[in-house]
Amino acid sequence: MKIINLLGIQPASTGHLDKLISTIGGFLGIWCIFLVTSQFVGGLSAALIVASMGASAVLLFAVPHGPLSQPWSVLCGHFISAIIGVSCYQLVNDVYLAAAIAVGLSIGAMHYLRCIHPPGGATALAAVVGSTELHNLAFQYVLTPVMLNVVVILLVAVVVNYPFKWRRYPVVLAYMPEKREPGDCRYRTDNVIPRSDLRYALESIGSFADVSEEELESIYRIATQHNKRNRLAPEDIQAGHYYSHGRLGEDFVVRMIIDESVSDDADKDQVIYKVIKGEGQGTTECITRQAFARWARYEVVNQNNVWTVKD
């Protein structure tokens, strides 16, 4: 197993503009929150509270479409965690035990309320280990500054992301259905997986998946379109050329067109191919050109005994 797989390093999927927007959004969000928090608490207390909002800023501006970043997760995640944190401080005398209970209960509550938001754990922790000034707020801590801060950073996230359609926040604004004209071929639904099936797939994973139904549907649509664009058309299949279906390893197969019977009738437009490499090597078969095109993914060439995709 490669070390890169163990470390979980993912390929870059965002451009420089997205990274710049995330940076500016994070700056504006925390700057506004410091202005708000300083009106209620100061010094170390403000730093502890803003720390959890800093974690929220990463989610809201770096991954604005993730389920952990959506308004319900942010609002309810911080709200329930703040209540639990204050309650644990007041009911449990041992601060270490209170802190552990607060974070653990917050995680469980967020799971059941479907509002998992990791920074909520920091909100609960700050309520227990904060300064005397913070403790004196008691349950006022839940509303001011926590929920007020949450509202501020959510508003900043909406404003900063809105000018950029592909990353509008919340995610529903980015995937609002466009007006469809009758007969518009851009909206063909053949081979489209229903959203109910996508939801079933997410639920059947058995653990939390940080991807929304909207994003999964969009990823599937883009991948399907890309797959169709890259497939060969029947007219691309020519005698004397080599083709592969795109699978690698033991499943890699190369077929060569050794003869053809050209016809305007799709059922009579046939090719004869020979398997050059892979399963069935040495065998020949006659099928329609359309059927062969559906199987083929790339035209390939042999260079120094290595099969590569033809440029």
Instruction: Kindly tell me if the per-residue pLDDT of 258 is higher than 70.
Output: yes
Residues contacting residue 126 through CB under 8 Å, at least 6 positions apart: 48, 49, 51, 52, 85, 134
The C-alpha atoms of residue 55 and residue 17 are separated, in whole angstroms, by 21
- Contact between 289 and 270 under an 8 Å Cβ cutoff? The reply is yes
Does 12 score more than 50 pLDDT? Answer: yes
pLDDT of residue 182: 46
CB count in 10 Å sphere of residue 77: 28
Band of residue 59 on the pLDDT scale cut at 50, 70, 90: very high
Q: What are 146-156's pLDDT values in tens digits?
A: 999 999 999 99
Query: Is the preceding peptide bond at 163 cis, omega within 30 degrees of 0?
Result: no
Question: Which has the minimum average pLDDT: 61-75, 115-129, 158-172, 220-234?
Answer: 220-234
Using CA atoms, how far apart are residues 251 and 272, in angstroms rounded to an integer?
21
Cβ neighbours around 230 below 10 Å, total? 10
Q: Where are the domains of the chain?
A: 15-171, 234-309
**Higher-confidence residue: 125 or 305?**
125
Give the residue, 217 or 225, on which the prediction is more confident.
217
- Give the chain's mean pLDDT: 84
Facing residues of 301 across strands? 308
Q: Which residue has the higher pLDDT, 102 or 278?
A: 102
On whether the CB atoms of residues 158 and 169 are closer than 8 A, the answer is: yes
Q: Can you give the pLDDT at residue 189?
A: 44
Give me the mean pLDDT over the 2-6 stretch: 67
- The residue type at 15: G
For 103-117, 126-140, 185-199, 271-285, which range has the lowest pLDDT when averaged over its residues?
A: 185-199
Q: Which of 216, 179, 195 is nearest to 65 (CA)?
A: 216
pLDDT classification of 4: cutoffs 50, 70, 90? low
Range with lowest mean pLDDT among 79-83, 149-153, 218-222, 245-249: 218-222
Share above pLDDT 70 across residues of the chain, in percent, rounded to a whole number: 77
User: pTM for the whole thing?
Assistant: 0.64
Percent of the chain with pLDDT strictly greater than 90 = 49
pLDDT tens figures, 13-57: 678 899 999 999 999 999 999 888 888 776 666 767 778 999 999
Q: What is the mean pLDDT of residues 178-190?
A: 45
Confidence (pLDDT) at 187? 42
The pLDDT assigned to 230 comes to 59
Q: What is the pLDDT of residue 287?
A: 92
Identify the H or E element spanning 228. helix 213-230
27 is written with which tokens? 């700056």
Across residues 67-96, what is the average pLDDT? Answer: 96
- Give the pLDDT confidence of 193-219 residue by residue, as tens digits: 666 666 666 666 655 556 666 666 666
**Contacts for 137 with CB less than 8 Å, ≥ 6 apart:** 40, 41, 144
Burial 132-154 (b: 16+ CB within 10 A, else e): eebbebeeebbeebbeebbebbb
User: Cα–Cα distance between 53 and 38 in angstroms, integer?
Assistant: 14
Cα gap 159→167, rounded to integer Å: 11
Residue 296: is its pLDDT beyond 70? yes
Higher-pLDDT residue of 156, 236: 156
- In this prediction, residue 1 carries a pLDDT of 52
Q: Is the dihedral of CA 17, 23, 24, 29 positive or negative?
A: positive
Over residues 91-118, the pLDDT tens digits come to: 999 999 999 999 999 999 999 999 999 9
